[in-house]
Structures are given as structure tokens and as C-alpha cells.
Structure 1
């Protein structure tokens, strides 16, 4: 049995405006409609590609989306920022209407799209639980039956009679998720909000969502940039890019497509020729143990880095220096490797698994001859995401041949 069906869903926005933006445009749409003609503004507009500067004031956030979701499925919706994931969930949640197309749903929908969705800031946590339940179509008796379980899961029992405007963002999302997951809706829609909670709460939420799909037969749509969480929870996936669905099917196939085609690090480093440099970094490739280029790794994976360089006038051995920085540009560790053969024009080294805890890191690369000259330096060109897999075995060490070189500074 189908839980959700989307037919030809598109969503158009006019930049800087609400709706079509002007009364003349609205009247023009209406005049075409009463005459039985197509909306003239459906023929204009550009794809929502944030990497380019468009020429049109109209943008298609979604374009001709079609899919079917079976009841009891856990569907991971993945893609880069700006792919249209959140817009799609807002349409499915009936927060906004599609410009074209129709959505068919079978059952009540509970959505958690941002912190405190559906909460009234002046009302207490207790009152908001009942308010959210009523919005979902639950009776007071049904909500009361689930109330103690919701509060226990959220961990905010001490503050349940405090207005939620005084809650921290973590408390907000704990209670909001508890309400959405425990009240008896047939479809649960969750956006990236779980990133607000701490690690223990995220594990708790993933476990609850697993119980919801496998034990209770409810349908989940889950948007996250945490590939480990998507793989753990979901059995099917939808890959989006620039407002289009580019692939859908089994979650492992979708994730592999995403890693190979969307997370390639090459696009984040751009070579600009500088003839004044004796040697220059030309390309940076990062790959996993399967030789797939990606910026997403399990913390137990080896990270293989290959640096292609141009040698213009260096006649001595060179050294490649890799610095791993946190998001505040603090050095986590440095790894180095020396090369005496100047005919290769390609240097490779490996960061062994279990060296980085789950987090987002910045990769910096330098090319030099030790004690002689620094030839090229690339800072912040590539980000690396390390995700958790459930194994906790972080090692340290030092060497000067492609593994860790001191200092090692753990976050």
C-alpha cells in the first residue's frame, strides 16, 4: 500500500518576493487561468544552482518531481545544500503549496522540519504537547495516554510546565521530536533538526525511528547529511540535485551514487597557474579504501590523498605536508612524507583509520623542500567529513613517513 505519491511536483519562487511578488503578475496568472490557458510564468525561470549567478528573477526550487513511497518504508533524502530537500518536505507537510503537480498521502503526517516546529513560545511544554497532538488530529484522551512516555523520552520533565520560549534549542528539539515520534501519525517527516541534539540524543532518536518503521509499520522520510545515520535507519533513498531527483532506489546504491558523483573533492580545489612558483600543486584527490573519490569517511576508514604537482625548476627532493584543521582552523595534526624522485609529478600518502573523531575538518596542503623553500600552500580548499560507525577505538602515533607527525592535538 502506498503512503505517499508525488506527481509532477514543481515549486517556483520569485527572488526577493512573496508569491509572484506583484499584483500585476497575480492578475496575469488569473486572467490566463479563466481563459483556460497555461500559466505564463511556468515557461520562465532557472534551475536553483547556487554556484552560478542567474539571469532570471524566477527560480525553480523543485522541477517535475515524481516518486512513490510504500507504507512502512524508511526513506533517506540526500543531496547537497540547495538540492531542494527541505522544500520537498515542506510541500509534503502541507506548509507550502506546489506550483504544479499533486501530492497524495495515506494517513496523518507529523513533521519536524526545524527546531520547535508547531510550538507556541508562550505556552508551556505540557500545553504544546496537547497543541501538537490536536494539530495532528489526536483526541485529548489519545494524547494523555502517550503523555508520560513523551516526557520521559524528551528528558525535560523538570521543565514541562515552563513556557518553551525559555527552553534551549536542545530542549526544544528533544520535546518536539518526542511529540512527533510518539503521537500516532502514519507518516513521520524529519529534517536535519536532529543535528541540534547531543550525540546520545541523536542515537536515541535513530533508535526510536527504527522502532517506528520496523515495529509499528509507520513511514519515515529522513533528511540528513550524516550518511552513517541514513544508512542505519533507511532502506531506500532519494538523491536530489538542483531541484531534481537524479536517482532513487536501495539506500546503499543511492549513497554510493552520492559519494562518487556529488562528494568528489575535485570541484573544491581550483588550479590557477602561477609561473613564478618553482613547483605548484595542480590537483588534489581524496579517496577511500575502495578507491572511490569522496570527502565522506567512516572514522575507521583510511584516507588516501594524492597530490599532482607541476615541477618547473626544483632539482631536489620535495615533501608533501598535510595539515588537518578543525572548523575554527585549529591544527588537529600534521602528517608529512618526503619524495626524492622528482620525475613522478604525483605524491601519495595515507591517513590511517581511527585517527580522527567524527566531525568536519579542513584540509591544508603544502609543498616544500625541508629547510630550503616553500613552493606552494593550499589552505582550506577541501573539507573532510568523518562520520561515526559505532566503533570507538581512537589511536595516536607518530612517524615521518606518511602517518601522524607530532604535534597531535585532539579535539
Structure 2
């Protein structure tokens, strides 16, 4: 990769905050920093601080929101920045957008950067939509003539034509996002930075915005940095991915691998058990235990692609004379719904179970699922009329691991095998 293709280069970016205070918080700390700076010494407070883990009580007043972030973005690339809440995604985008400065490190970019970080960012609520378009264009360094040439397209795309001469303070959050995105996309920045803000818009606008970002990157050769918890949107839009955890980069590479790494960091378990008092369920049934079994009947998180996978649900019936059936849903690591299964011939549809502990097992055949991570949901339903009594998402997880073998559909082919399922079909 030649350096002339690099439009954004982030080198060793770190950001430190002092908890509960603005700046260093004390005069003594300020003086200490100043004295070290006068003598050409390193800031003494760069050596202290803890990782940004909100789940534990720290011992330091300093916290590193970001630590040693390094990556490069090529022209025309769509980079997905993903991670759990508190991983440092928004802080990183604010630094890239020059809203705040890094504590250490440097950023080198070519061209204008337009950002959508929060609803209404960069908009003056007292100005009309039209006036805010000109204001944002001027901030991006565009002439009035350039902005005017794009004005009709921006208004049409935003769908706010009726309110374009109304002060933005009277806009809904959805209208504000629509107009802000249209301004950022049509005023032709070299780099477009989009935070989770698109989640505020409705489904129609999200689809429209993602299509526009695809046009920006593929058709116009501009660069997009995209942050979202919607992995389907990330997968459809992005080509590369960076995964953040506690302010550090834990993965950088292909977007599919990045999404897998993101879900791999989640709490995965092949066995889950609840006490009766806090077990999920409904008024007549409580789900007590779920296990994922490998072919040898041991609980296992990892399974060979050619082996059957058995999932056993243990529940307790609290009331008799209840007619119901069972449901199962399977999702892959990109949160794509692979399939649903209803226990349509269940004996519980016609014969009530007695009070006590009961089990139900389903089997997913080998050579059916593609390689990757999966999560399951369990539901209790009634028919005539259809009604879901309760559904529990993400109760257990498992991984399907591929191998080069003549016993699988892969055969001796060792390259990337696309698709969400991989059934062994008969060829005649």
C-alpha cells in the first residue's frame, strides 16, 4: 500500500481525563505540570491513570479513555469503529473531528472532515434549516456559490423542505439528524465521520443514509468512518474494521473478522442456569437451565462444523392444565436471524404437563451451519390465537469451527467460504 493512498493516519493517540474535575482539578497539579514543561520534562500525570473500565472501582483520579490508538485509512475506504459502550469510540471520533485534542499522539489527514457526532452538533438552534446549511458549509471551507449549487439536493434528501425556513430549535430529533446528515454528505468532505447518530432516524432514512454513504465511498472515492452497534449496518457498509475495548485497539482488519472479534469479546457461555426465584419465564413456567452439548454429550462452546449440536432446555411447570408449545431462534455473530423453529407437533399442545421439572432438546445437524459464532433464544407460545408468553434472547452461545476435510461441504478447498449456512447438498 503506497502512502499516497493514505488519507488519514492515526499514530499513538491517547486521551486522559481527570474524574470529577475540569482540567487537572488542583493548583498543585497545574503547577507541577508547568514546572515539568519548563524543564523540558514529560508530563508527570501521563504515568498515572487506569484503563476506562466502568465496572470496577478505581484507585486513581485519572483515567485513560484511549491508549496508544494507531491505524491508517485509505482513500475511499469505509472503516467501521466498533466496541461496547465505554470502549472509547466517541472519544476517538471527537479527536478525529478536532472537537477535542489528544493527550499524546498525532493525526495526519488530507482534506476536509465533516462529522455527525450527536443530534444537532454544529447547528445553531436559532437559525433556520437553510441558514444552518450555509453555516455548516462555511465551517467546512466552502464558498457560498458551492453551497448554493448543492442546496436543492440537500433539502430534497433531508425531506425537510416544508420546514427549511423554520428555526432548527423547532425540529424533532429525527428531522435534525436528517438535515445534518444531508449537509455532511452533500457538501463533499474528503472524510465523513458518522457516530451512532443515525439510530435516531427511522428505518427508511437509515437505509437511505447507508445507501448514500456507499455512493460516497464507492462512487465518489471519499472516506467514511462509521460507528454503530447495528452490526448488520456495519457489515453492509464497511470494508475494514477497528475493534476497541477499554480504550485500546484489540483488532484491526477485515470487517467480517472485526465483527467476529467484537462478539467474541462478549460474555459467551454454553451453559446457563437460574435459581427459581429469578428464572425467566411466565406465570406457569420457569426456564431453569440451558446446555449446549457436543456429540459426546459434554457441554461445549466450540463444535466441529460436521458434528451435530444439541441444545437442551430444562424448565419447571408451576401450573397444570396449560397448553403451549416451544420456539427456538438462532442468530449469528452479525446478529442476523438464521432461522426459527416451532415445536408444532409438541404433545404439550394437546396434553398438559404435570407440575415439576421437564426437558426439551433440539438438534442442529452437522454440515448445516457456516463457520462462526451463534446465540440462541427460547420462547414459550400458545396457538389459536398465536401468542408468545415469553422469549429469552442470548441465553447460550456456541462456535462452529471449520476444518478442511472430505467429510464437509468445504472438501479440500481452504479459501474463504461465504454464506450464513453451509448445507451438505446432494449433487446428481
Q: What is the TM-score with the length of structure 1 in the denominator?
A: 0.70
Deviation string for 1:40-75 (max 9, x for gaps)? 111111111122222222111101101111111111
Query: Any unmatched runs of 5+ in structure 1?
Result: 287-291, 295-303, 312-318, 325-332, 351-361, 367-377, 385-411
CA contact (8 A) 1:4 1:106 kept: yes
Deviation string for 1:188-237 (max 9, x for gaps)? 00000110111110010001000100111111000011111111111111
- Aligned match of 1:150: 154
User: 1:266 aligned to 269, 273, 277, which one?
Assistant: 269
Deviation string for 1:4-25 (max 9, x for gaps)? 1111101111111122222322
Change (3 A) 1:34 1:230: same
- Aligned match of 2:224: 220
CA contact (8 A) 1:264 1:293 kept: no
CA contact (8 A) 2:272 2:291 kept: no
Quick check: 1:85 aligned with 2:95?
Answer: no
Structure with max Cα Rg: 2
Change (3 A) 1:310 1:194: closer
- Aligned match of 1:174: 178
1:137-286 equivalence runs, <5 A: 137-259=141-263, 261-266=264-269, 281=288
Give the Cα separation in 2 of the matches to 1:270 and 1:20. Answer: 45
Query: Any unmatched runs of 5+ in structure 2?
Result: 280-285, 294-299, 303-308, 317-323, 330-339, 365-375, 381-389, 397-428
User: 1:103 aligned to 82, 103, 107, which one?
Assistant: 107
1:1-400 equivalence runs, <5 A: 1-259=5-263, 261-266=264-269, 281=288, 306-307=311-312, 347-348=361-362, 382=394
Q: What is the TM-score with the length of structure 2 in the denominator?
A: 0.68
Give the Cα separation in 1 of the matches to 2:240 and 2:55. Answer: 29
Corresponding pairs, count: 329
CA contact (8 A) 1:154 1:175 kept: yes
CA contact (8 A) 1:265 1:382 kept: no
Give the superposed CA RMSD. Answer: 3.9
Deviation string for 1:97-121 (max 9, x for gaps)? 1111111111110000011110000
CA contact (8 A) 1:285 1:293 kept: yes
CA contact (8 A) 1:240 1:246 kept: yes
CA contact (8 A) 1:239 1:258 kept: yes
Give the Cα separation in 1 of the matches to 2:41 and 2:276. Answer: 57
Deviation string for 1:256-314 (max 9, x for gaps)? 2222x1234439x9757789x9x99455669xxxxx979xxxxxxxxx99457699xxx
Q: CA deviation at 1:346?
A: 8.8
Give the Cα separation in 2 of the matches to 1:164 and 1:2. Answer: 37
